[in-house]
Structure 1
Amino acid sequence: MTEPLRLSKRMSELGLCSRREADEWIARGWVRVDGKVVSELGTKILPTQRVTVERQAAAEQSKRVTILINKPMGYVSGQAEDGYKPAVALVKAESRWKEDTSPTQFHPTQLRSLVPAGRLDIDSVGLLVLTQDGRIAKHLIGENSSVEKEYLVRVQYIKPGKLPEADLQRLNHGLMLDGKKLLPAQVKWQNEDQLSFILREGKKRQIRRMCDIVGLKVVGLKRVRIGRVKLGDLPVGEWRYLAEGEQF
C-alpha cells in the first residue's frame, strides 16, 4: 500500500513550491486535488492523486524576487547576531548595482520573507543568494541539493616547506568532519598561495576546517560561483536581481 502524505509535502516533492508556500496556497483555496479545491491544512493525499494550482498562485510566485549580493566581511548571512548586521541590510535602492539589467523595480516589500539560500561566514566574502522563492531555496540548500559552489581561498602553510601532494589529494577526497566522510571536492592551486575549492555540500565553516586538518591557515575566502551563476563584476556591498532566464 502506498502511504498517504501531507499535501504540502507532496507539492514540494513535485517542485510546485516550498512547503510554506503550499500551506499559504492551500489556505487561500488555490490548490486542487483531482480537480477538487482543498483548503484544509494538514490534508493527506496519495502520491497517485493529481495536484494542480490556480493561476493566482503562479502569478504570486512570479512576483517573488531573488537577489544576489557581494557580501563584505563583517556581515552575517541570516539573522542579526552579536551586534553584527545581517546581509539583507545591504539591500536598498541606493546600493543596487548600476549595471543591473533586470527590469524589476525595487520596493521595500521585497524584503519580506527574503531569506539566505546558504550561508557565508561573517569573515568570508562574495556571492550570497537571498530569495523569496521557496523552490530556489530548496534547490540550493535542500538536503538533496548537489549544486556546485566555487570559492577562492587564500592560505598560509603553517608547517615547514610546501603542502605535500598527498594532503592536496586528501582535500579533494578523504577527509572527515563531525564523524562523517565529506563528499568528493575539486581542490587545486590557482597560484602559490591561493586554492580553488568546488564543493557540493556546505557544512559549517567547512573549508576552514578542511584546511586546518592539513595544516593550512585560511587568510581569505571568497565565493565566486553558485551553480551557473557567477559573482562576476558585482562590486563589494552591492546587489542585483537574478535575471529572467538566469538559472543556478
Structure 2
Amino acid sequence: MIHAKKPVPPAPREGERLAKRVAEMVPCSRREAEQYIEGGWVSVNGQVVEEPMFRVSDQRVEVDPDASLLELSAVTLLLHKPPGFDAMAAPGQANRHVKSAQQLLSAATHATDDASGVRLLKRHFAKLTACVPLETAASGLVVFTQDWRVLRKLTEDAQLMEQEVIVEVAGEVPAQSLQRINQGLAVDGQPLPAVKVSLNSTGETSSKLRFALKGSHPGLIAYLCERLGLQIVSMKRLRIGRVSMTQLPLGQWRYLQAHERF
C-alpha cells in the first residue's frame, strides 16, 4: 500500500517586517510606517532601507528625527535620451534591437549638478509614464512622470505646446528650402502641420537647423527634410514648452524643479 507523503511546511522566515517594527517605534499605522520607509527615513544598522518588506530581527533600526510624510509627492524626471532608445516603451516591452529609454533611469545616471534639491528615492523609479514621443533615432529631452497633473498637461495641451529641435543635415541648406518649409507643405492637398525653421549654424560639411513646432508629430521633421532632399545626420530635442534640458549630459537625468512649468 502506497502512502501519500505529507506536505513539508515552509521554513519560518526569521524576524519581522521592517514596517511592523517602525509602526511600533514611532508609533503609527502600518501604512504610515511603510511611507516613512519608502521616503528614505529609516535605517538598519546605519544603512538606509527603502523596502517595507525587509525583515529585521536584532538589527538596530532608526527613524530619522526629521522624518516627514509631506515629501512623498509625485516626481517628474527629465532624461537626455541617447539615440537608439525607445522613449515610450516600458522596460521589457521594447524589442531586442531597441531598448527602452526608461531603463536608463537609475541612481547611477542621476546628474550630479541636479539643482532640484529632491532626495533620490527608489520609489521615484516606479509607476512612471513616458510623455511626448521622440523618434528612436533622435536624442534629446524625454519626460517621465508620476504626477497626474504633469501627464494631463502634456496630453491635453500637446497641440498648443511648442517643441524645439536642432537637426543637423549634410552640406549647406539653400535659402529656398527653408522658405518652402516656413510657407508650409502639403500631402495630397492636405496641409502639413505648421513648422518654423531657421538656420542655426553652418560648417564645411554640415548645417544645423532649428525647428519649432507645436504638437506631437513623430516623423514629420524627417519627412520634411526628405521632401527637400536634405540628409539628416542627427536630431536633438532641446525643449518642450517652457522646460529645456539646459546642460544635461547625454544619458543622464534630473528632476523637474519646483518652479519649472511646461
* TM-score > 0.5, shorter chain as reference: yes
Match of 1:211 in 2: 225
Structure 2 residue corresponding to 1:68, chosen from 58, 78, 89: 78
Match of 1:82 in 2: 95
User: Helix, strand or coil for the counterpart of 2:154?
Assistant: helix
| Alignment of 1:228 onto 2:250 | no
Label 1:179 to 1:125 Cα distance change in 2 as closer, same or farther (>3 A): farther
Match of 1:185 in 2: 195
1:16-31 equivalence runs, <5 A: none
Given that 1:146 and 1:201 are in contact with CA atoms closer than 8 Å, whether structure 2 keeps it comes out as: yes
Query: What TM-score do the two structures reach when normalised by structure 1?
Result: 0.68
| Alignment of 1:169 onto 2:179 | yes
State how far apart, in whole Å, the 2-side matches of 1:61 and 1:111 are. 16
State how far apart, in whole Å, the 2-side matches of 1:61 and 1:165 are. 53
Given that 1:125 and 1:222 are in contact with CA atoms closer than 8 Å, whether structure 2 keeps it comes out as: yes
| Alignment of 1:247 onto 2:257 | no
Deviates more, 1:218-227 or 1:81-90: 81-90
Given that 1:148 and 1:200 are in contact with CA atoms closer than 8 Å, whether structure 2 keeps it comes out as: yes
Which consecutive unaligned segments of at least 5 residues does structure 1 have?
Answer: 1-58
Given that 1:172 and 1:187 are in contact with CA atoms closer than 8 Å, whether structure 2 keeps it comes out as: yes
Match of 2:146 in 1: 132
Given that 1:175 and 1:182 are in contact with CA atoms closer than 8 Å, whether structure 2 keeps it comes out as: yes
Match of 2:165 in 1: 151
State how far apart, in whole Å, the 1-side matches of 2:160 and 2:110 are. 30
User: Helix, strand or coil for the counterpart of 1:145?
Assistant: helix
Given that 2:164 and 2:212 are in contact with CA atoms closer than 8 Å, whether structure 1 keeps it comes out as: yes
Which consecutive unaligned segments of at least 5 residues does structure 2 have?
Answer: 1-68
Shift of 1:60: 9.4
Match of 1:99 in 2: 113
User: Helix, strand or coil for the counterpart of 2:84?
Assistant: coil
RMSD of Structure 2 on Structure 1 (CA): 2.4
Label 1:122 to 1:189 Cα distance change in 2 as closer, same or farther (>3 A): same
Aligned pair count reads 186
Shift of 1:227: 1.5
User: Helix, strand or coil for the counterpart of 2:150?
Assistant: helix
Deviation per residue, 1:95-151 (Å, 9 max, x gap): 100011222222232223211111111210011111122322232233663111101
Given that 1:173 and 1:183 are in contact with CA atoms closer than 8 Å, whether structure 2 keeps it comes out as: no
Q: Which amino acid aligns with 2:103?
A: A
Q: Which amino acid aligns with 2:186?
A: M
Identity %: 33
| Alignment of 1:110 onto 2:124 | yes
State how far apart, in whole Å, the 1-side matches of 2:239 and 2:188 are. 26
Shift of 1:90: 1.1
Match of 2:156 in 1: 142
Query: What TM-score do the two structures reach when normalised by structure 2?
Result: 0.65
